[in-house]
Copies of this chain bind each other. A is one copy, B any other.
């Protein structure tokens, strides 16, 4: 991982579908050299995946929430979360609650409906997201 690798990853952070040829022009290096660096970054596992980022709003999901959950039936609860399309992220956490999940629903009513269904597993505390300040920070933009 040198500065050139960091530059490649920064370009991909802005647009993961950028052609390698365009990247090679921007960093003044031959195209096969960039291809080889990319291959190594993928092989090392530094690059996990290339994802498309969709707009929840445009897909009709107008409510975002984080839900903290306390449960004793962990395996069943995890299965429930995996099978609930509204639950897009799930973390085990320390603290009074042992799970945190990110939820996308059409309305606050559909969020309430999900919470009703989850109540059999334990109890929850809900943080409604009023607005997102940022969520796409480049991991490499670190002042060292």
> Using Cβ atoms and an 8 Å threshold, which residues of chain B touch A16?
16-17, 49-52
The interface size bin for chain A is 35 or more
Interface residue A139 (Cβ < 8 Å from any Cβ of B): yes
Give how many copies assemble into the complex: 2
Q: Which residue of B lies closest to A86 (CB)?
A: B142
Instruction: Specify which chain B residues have a CB less than 8 angstroms from the CB of A126 in the assembled complex.
Output: 95
Which A116-144 residues have a C-beta within 8 angstroms of B?
A: 125-137, 139-143
Shortest C-beta distance, A84 to chain B (Å), equals 9
Q: Give me 7 other A-B pairs in contact (C-beta within 8 A), A46-B58, A56-B139, A93-B130 excluded.
A: A16-B17, A59-B140, A66-B66, A87-B137, A88-B135, A91-B129, A92-B129
